[in-house]
Amino acid sequence: MSPRTKKQNAAIRERSVAAIKDAALEMFAKYGFHSTSITQIAKEAGVSNGLMYNYFSGKEELLQSIIQDAMEVNDATWFKFLNADLPAVEKLRKAMDATFELVKSNLHHWKLLTALAFQPDVQQKMEALVMDKKDFYIQLLTGVFEEMGFEEAQMEVFYFAAMVDGIFLHYMNMEENYPLDQMKEMIWQRYEKKR
Amino acid sequence: MSPRTKKQNAAIRERSVAAIKDAALEMFAKYGFHSTSITQIAKEAGVSNGLMYNYFSGKEELLQSIIQDAMEVNDATWFKFLNADLPAVEKLRKAMDATFELVKSNLHHWKLLTALAFQPDVQQKMEALVMDKKDFYIQLLTGVFEEMGFEEAQMEVFYFAAMVDGIFLHYMNMEENYPLDQMKEMIWQRYEKKR
Amino acid sequence: MSPRTKKQNAAIRERSVAAIKDAALEMFAKYGFHSTSITQIAKEAGVSNGLMYNYFSGKEELLQSIIQDAMEVNDATWFKFLNADLPAVEKLRKAMDATFELVKSNLHHWKLLTALAFQPDVQQKMEALVMDKKDFYIQLLTGVFEEMGFEEAQMEVFYFAAMVDGIFLHYMNMEENYPLDQMKEMIWQRYEKKR
Amino acid sequence: MSPRTKKQNAAIRERSVAAIKDAALEMFAKYGFHSTSITQIAKEAGVSNGLMYNYFSGKEELLQSIIQDAMEVNDATWFKFLNADLPAVEKLRKAMDATFELVKSNLHHWKLLTALAFQPDVQQKMEALVMDKKDFYIQLLTGVFEEMGFEEAQMEVFYFAAMVDGIFLHYMNMEENYPLDQMKEMIWQRYEKKR
DNA sequence: GATGAATGAGAATTCATTCAT
DNA sequence: GATGAATGAATTCTCATTCAT
């Protein structure tokens, strides 16, 4: 009956927080943010209704936290490959491969993020977070395409991003019926010769 | 003294329905479906709270009706150009031009439709409507690309669709800052030579 | 195009009023007062929503009017037989027979009246109407039973009324499965010997 | 500090449910089902508007639950006396006495149940519940009357039931002005001699 | 740290009633 | 006399959030 140590408490907290986030992500992705109630999340997570409020100030903050997590994973991947010490074509290929893998194995996260990107009320709250990143990656990719010899490197960034996101869009709708890998290679044909 | 004629009534009804739909589309696109209340729509439309229920069975049916409208406009355009008696390249170009115009001038509709396509709870209700159409257009486009000499015509359809939708996705997020026309031409470079 | 005569107008009015009352009675009896909407009544009656308000001040007054009608039919019958110039036993028998016929052939009216007699909110509005009548009939019947030689004639009135109403209660619930005529004869056995 | 125990919670829930049911019964009986709003019930029960929905799926289920309760009380009484190991006449007398007591002391329940039995929209929902019971009690009573020597025992059941229900009907309308006990004895005269 | 009973603001929906024609 | 589009108050129900334990 001795009081829990700090470490024990931290572990307990972490487990609870993770359970809540996992359940929430799952259900937000499945039913939408507004159509998922706190009660449903709590039930799915196997905790009480009120526990969420010990860790987040409300439903919105829970969402924010999930979004942040998803973006961090994505960031790590991109940053890793686009900053690697490799020829531009290689960097692009590796980053692209990694991104496709990421999306394949985290379909839930991605569906959720995409869905949210189109819900105007949520969008505004993400905007600040996203804008900086976006500019940063545009810069980064522009550098890569310049190195690959594109005149209008920034236009190429837009074009590349559109192809990738368009493919993901369709993949998310069709899932296993979508020829994801073939699409990736069709993109790649455009850049391969720059090798 | 005498009651209104049928024609008068029809006109009145039509005006009310239009006002409600317009207001709803505007606000759904702006704030999202779940975050827009009937009261808000009614106020925006300049009618009473209850009037919507004279014309639609509920908020959901109102949404359905708006979706249907949007899809009909789109359908008409595509069908017109892809079925025209022209060489395949011309058909594709004209259909593409028309679609870009459509999206440019109906940004609201498109944002709404796209947002909805990612809200899982709404998605299911659209699915039946959309699925048939999708297959139909895949067929139609496959024919066009075959005529243009593509070996893997269906893969080309997916690729083309991904590029177009990816571009629209980004356009919808960045609006006037997006180089929409340049992107269109970048797509077109791939097909022009097939002329 | 000459204006309608007064007589024509009166006929038109009467037809409309009758259609509305008939429809209302039918639906009140079938679905209950609160569960029947003006719109339903109007549709059933084949008239417009607003017409009712030309003849009645509202839904409640329509109900009152229907109740009054039903009670008048009943009154006429009872009064006729209980006031006839006949021996008491004959009067009772004839009034009883007539009442059973009345209920059999106007099941709707009766169900409605009974239902209303138990809806507290409606009850209060009927109370004034009913109370006077009740006392009047108790007097009348008491006279009859006294004439038949009952010591406690008023108790006999209560008892007789309870039997009759109890039988109707069950008849209304079971309808054609109820041995209505046999029940009537079982009551009668009590009074026959007083002949 | 620590959460409430299961027992504590159960007690709290039970108290709330009881408060809601009591208030609802009171007001349904007083104003009718449709004329009583959730808000009124909540106020009378001294709880919030939403609490009812923690325990019942809606207003209708609350009603169902109250009906069920009322029927269970009734059932217990009847079953107890009609199944007792006594001569038939005694059983009947005791069951009858108990029923009259029941109605006297639970006037609210009975008014409500009777009122509901005549509201067509509610009736359908009770029907299944009631029908089985009715047949069961008819059987039971038929046995009793057979034992008492009635040739047409089942007709006697109908007749007896009609008398009892007719008396209750009038009692519910006139309340303390009604000679309830005398009526009971008038019924009894018919059966006493079978002793 | 955790629970879950309770709250109450806000949303969708219904429908008696009005009134311009 | 009749119509039916429009109104808006009232009602049911949902659910994020609070808080005593």
What digits encode the pLDDT tens for the residues B107-138?
Answer: 888 888 888 877 777 777 777 777 888 888 89
Q: How confident is the model at residue A195 (pLDDT cuts 50, 70, 90)?
A: low
Alpha-carbon distance D82 to D78, whole Å?
Answer: 6
Query: Strand F and chain B: which residues 39-98 have CB closer than 7 Å?
Result: 47-51, 53-54
- Looking at residue D108, the DSSP 8-state letter turns out to be H
Mean pLDDT, residues A121-138 taken together: 79
- Which pLDDT does position B195 carry in this prediction? 64
pTM of the prediction? 0.90
- Which pLDDT does position B147 carry in this prediction? 94
A residues 14..33 contacting B (CB < 8 A): 29-32
Question: Chain C contacts of D155, Cβ < 8 Å?
Answer: 179, 182-183, 186
Query: 């002949």: which residue's tokens?
Result: C195
Please state, rounded to an integer, the average pLDDT across all residues of chain A: 90
- As ranges, strand E nucleotides with an atom below 7 A of a protein CB are 1-21
SS3 C93: helix
Q: How confident is the model at residue C3 (pLDDT cuts 50, 70, 90)?
A: low
- Structural element, H or E, at residue D45: helix D38-45
CB distance C46 to C130 below 8 Å: no
Tokens (6 digits) for D125: 């929902």
Cα–Cα distances in Å, from C132 out to A42, C129, C138, C139, D177?
Answer: 63, 6, 10, 11, 16
Does the pLDDT at position B60 exceed 90?
A: yes
A51 touches chain B (CB under 8 A): no
- Which pLDDT does position C1 carry in this prediction? 47
Alpha-carbon distance C47 to C12, whole Å?
Answer: 12
Does the pLDDT at position B1 exceed 70?
A: no
Query: 């549709």: which residue's tokens?
Result: C43
Residue of C nearest to D34 (CA): C34
**Residue-wise pLDDT tens digits, D45-74:** 999 999 999 999 999 999 999 989 988 888
User: pLDDT under 50 in chain D at which residues?
Assistant: none
Q: Which of B31-35, C59-63, C77-81 has the lowest mean pLDDT?
A: C77-81
Mean pLDDT, residues B79-91 taken together: 90
Q: Which residue is nearest to nucleotide E11 (CA to C1')?
A: B37
Mean pLDDT, residues B55-59 taken together: 96
Report the CATH fold assignment for C58-192.
Answer: Tetracycline Repressor; domain 2 (1.10.357)
Report the CATH fold assignment for A1-56.
Answer: Arc Repressor Mutant, subunit A (1.10.10)
Q: How confident is the model at residue B40 (pLDDT cuts 50, 70, 90)?
A: very high
CB distance D27 to D40 below 8 Å: yes
Please state, rounded to an integer, the average pLDDT across all residues of chain C: 90
- Which pLDDT does position D82 carry in this prediction? 86
Does the pLDDT at position C194 exceed 80?
A: no
- CATH fold match for the domains C1-56 and C58-192: no
Amino acid at D4: R
A residues 111..170 contacting B (CB < 8 A): 111, 114-115, 117-122, 155, 158-159, 161-167, 169-170
Q: Which of A149-158, B10-19, D99-108 has the lowest mean pLDDT?
A: D99-108
Domain assignments of chain C as residue spans, ordered by start:
1-56, 58-192
Alpha-carbon distance A136 to B14, whole Å?
Answer: 50
Does the pLDDT at position A1 exceed 80?
A: no
A119/B115 Cβ within 8 A: yes
B58 touches chain A (CB under 8 A): no
Cα–Cα distances in Å, from D20 out to B29, C42, D16, D44, D112?
Answer: 42, 38, 6, 8, 16
CB distance B23 to B47 below 8 Å: no
Please state, rounded to an integer, the average pLDDT across all residues of chain B: 91
Does the pLDDT at position C107 exceed 90?
A: no
**Residue-wise pLDDT tens digits, A51-86:** 999 999 999 999 999 988 888 888 888 888 888 899
Q: Which of A50-54, B181-185, C1-5, C47-51 has the lowest mean pLDDT?
A: C1-5
D174 touches chain C (CB under 8 A): no
Mean pLDDT, residues A174-183 taken together: 94
Amino acid at C152: E
